[in-house]
Amino acid sequence: MYKLLVPIDGSEVAERAMQTAVSLCQKREGETHITLLHVASVEYYPGMAVASVNINLDETVSKEGEELLQESLNKIKNAGIHVDSVLLKGYAAKEICEYANENGYDMIVIGNRGRGAFGELILGSVSHKVLHHAKCPVLIVK
């Protein structure tokens, strides 16, 4: 089985990474599998933790992640590929690499930047860290 891990964050480039993974699987003979991975992390919301005392930030970020994963699953569920999703909490690059390494993925397909100005800085560093720390090949999609 050919297994691809696709980290997503709701950005346009993450959407392209997801579609690239689908295309790679459709061109390959044999059984294929895509796991969509979202890391719920407050690192994407730097000022909110202090400013929003009455909001359970962890719960809010997790709920947004679950909704994002479901929307993404719906977009590719009829592509003829086995697809599942995983929501993790923590620091994105660390969680992505650990999950890929522990679960034997053949490749990580990741966008080169994230959402918004701060998100682009963060995911840009995430894709860079994943490239250097993952044990499997990494395809960075622009």
| Interval 20-65: pLDDT, tens | 999 999 999 889 999 999 999 755 555 554 454 545 667 788 899 9
- The confidence score (pLDDT) of residue 123 equals 45
Q: What is the pTM of this model?
A: 0.85
**Edge-first strand listing for the sheet containing 82-89:** 82-89, 32-40, 2-7, 107-111, 138-141
pLDDT per position as a tens digit, 101-138:
999 999 999 998 765 444 444 446 889 999 999 999 99
Segments forming the whole domain that contains residue 125 = 2-141
Query: Residue 86: which CATH number?
Result: 3.40.50.620
Provide the residue count of the chain.
142
- Smallest CA-to-CA distance from 100 within 120, 129, 122, 76 is with 129
The total number of structural domains in the chain stands at 1
Burial of 46 (0-12, 13-18, 19+ CB in 10 A): exposed
- The confidence score (pLDDT) of residue 79 equals 85
pLDDT per position as a tens digit, 43-53:
555 555 445 45
